[in-house]
Amino acid sequence: MDRRVHSGILAAALVTALAVPAAASPHEDQGMLAAVQRHLGVTEDQAIARLAAEQRASETDRELRKELGDRYAGGWLTRDGTTLVVGVTDDAAADSVRAGGAEPRLVEHSESELDAVRSTLDAQRTRAPKTTASWYVDVTTNAVVVNARAVDAAWRFVRASGADTSAVRVVRSDESPRPLIDVVGGNAYYIGAGTRCSVGFSVNGGFVTAGHCGRAGSPTAGSNWVAQGTFRGSSFPTNDYAWVETNGSWNTLPNVNNYAGGSVNVTGSQVAGVGSSVCRSGRTTGWRCGTVQALNVTINYAQGPVYEATQTSACAEGGDSGGSFISGSQAQGVTSGGSGNCSFGGTTFFQPVNETLSRYGLTLVTG
């Protein structure tokens, strides 16, 4: 399950139900380095270089976005994670990107134009066939990508929506995303009589998790079935975020379980760009890493759409819902759902934590 986060409280007993690593620097958390090495198939030196480059790239991309305005067409990291590429719509903007230390890519559509196409599809979501899994702005190909099991039906939806078809690509996909909820007994935290989810991030007064895990007013218990708190806010579908106010028996901690015998500190919530490495933590499958594939994704769940999610290659399974996604030491979001599992892989989505924090006026607990 998944929901956004703005402030969180994790008790010591809850840390084992979370998996959101946060380190003061990419070099300091050996658990994260090992996970990036294992899941991305790189050496320790390559992992260190990648994490450092990602941090620099995030800062550079943020500045270039401000400077270029409507000429900006998105930023992403190359496959090895060491080079920031920025799409631009004219040569003058390309010169600015080079001056900023990044590699320019001249493209046809600006990010704002692609966002407008995605918004058009969002507005017509009720007309989307069930065989259409998701759509998002893919900055690496300068198009809005529609993933669908039935390509012809997806194209009919796109044309009927009134969206600019020249900026759309329909991709054949077997994905059928569903919220990652487990209605079974086990570890992590429980909602009501037995629904199980994973804690996201600690906030002042409680923690954030996925909206599909529980509704406002639902009671929660820790992994030891000790009374824990109450859902104070929840939204699903449209969004997939929630927050739980914990009682006085639970302490809020600025770290999460790395499932390697330790935990990592969360130091902030700076957004990681496309191509960045990202790791997630959840009670069912522990600590898993991958890369960010797309931002602002619309997930077409059977229960209804969830907007502005982030798509990743990190795997997840039922019961991981609501768990932490982190890049370096920066909190990214909470697990919403996906396709596949950790045996053969798949796509996993999270809802960015900053929206959740803003929506409920919460503040992350950081170390």
**Per-residue pLDDT, 21:** 28
- Point out the catalytic residue in the list 240, 277, 327, 329: 240
Residue corresponding to tokens 């989810």: 197
Residues with Cβ within 8 Å of 80's Cβ and at least 6 positions away in sequence, in order, are: 46, 50
Tokens of 109: 């559509």
166-206 tens-digit pLDDT: 999 999 999 888 887 543 333 589 998 888 999 999 998 99
113-137 tens-digit pLDDT: 999 999 999 999 999 999 999 999 9
Distance separating the N- and C-terminal Cα atoms of the chain: 25
Task: Establish whether 109 is a catalytic residue.
Answer: no
**Per-residue pLDDT, 77:** 96
Residues with Cβ within 8 Å of 359's Cβ and at least 6 positions away in sequence, in order, are: 4, 6, 233, 235, 239, 241
Second-level CATH architecture of 112-172: 2-Layer Sandwich (3.30)
- Point out the catalytic residue in the list 6, 39, 109, 212: 212
286-320 tens-digit pLDDT: 999 999 999 999 999 999 999 999 999 999 999 99
- Point out the catalytic residue in the list 134, 321, 327, 329: 321
Q: How far is CA 214 from the centre of its chain?
A: 19
pLDDT exceeds cutoff 60 at 73: yes
pTM comes to 0.81
Give the mean pLDDT of 89-118: 97
The pLDDT > 70 percentage for the chain reads 90
Task: Establish whether 119 is a catalytic residue.
Answer: no
pLDDT exceeds cutoff 60 at 334: yes
**Per-residue pLDDT, 241:** 98
241-258 tens-digit pLDDT: 999 999 988 888 888 788
Band (8; pLDDT cuts 50, 70, 90): very low
Cα–Cα distance, 50 to 45 (Å, whole number): 8
More confident residue, 11 or 242: 242
Band (29; pLDDT cuts 50, 70, 90): low
Task: Establish whether 240 is a catalytic residue.
Answer: yes
3-state secondary structure of 349: strand
